[in-house]
Amino acid sequence: PKQWYQRRVRAVEKGDSNVYGTMHGGLGASLVDLCSTVAILSKCKRWGVSTDMQISYLKAAPVGKDITIVGQCDRAGKTLAFSSCFIYNENGDLLLKGQHTKFMGTPLVDLELDDELD
C-alpha cells in the first residue's frame, strides 16, 4: 500500500506570496520537496538526495486562504524512490501537483533520525 503524509497548513501569509498576492511558486516547490520526502521516509527509512522534481501549477492560492498538502510514496526501490505531492485549496480544488524522484542511500539510523519518524 502507498504511504501517505498529509498536513493542514496555516493560511498562506503575505510573506509567502508573490507580487500577485498568491502563494509564491518557490514555496509550492519547497512543500512538494518536504512532503514527498516525508512520505518516502515513512516507507523506506533511508535518507536520499533529489534527482528530479517536476511541478505543475494549476491554480493560485490567495493570501489568507488555507491549503492542504498530501504527499505519497509511489514506489521505493533499492536505489530510487518515486513520490507525488498534491496541494488543494479549502474547496478541494487541485492547485499544484508535483512528482519527485530521489536516490536513496544512507539508512536513517546512521543519521539518528529514525525515532523522529515513528
pLDDT 10s digits, 54-78: 999 999 999 999 999 999 999 999 8
Please state whether 64 falls in left (phi above 0), alpha (psi between -120 and 50) or beta.
left
Q: What's the predicted TM-score (pTM) here?
A: 0.83
> Does the pLDDT at position 45 exceed 70?
yes
CB 4 within 8 A of CB 69: no
Give the Å distances, CA to CA, from 19 to 30, 45, 62, 103: 18, 39, 11, 35
Q: What is the largest distance, in Å, between two alpha-carbon atoms of the chain?
A: 44
* Cell (9 digits) for 2: 502507498
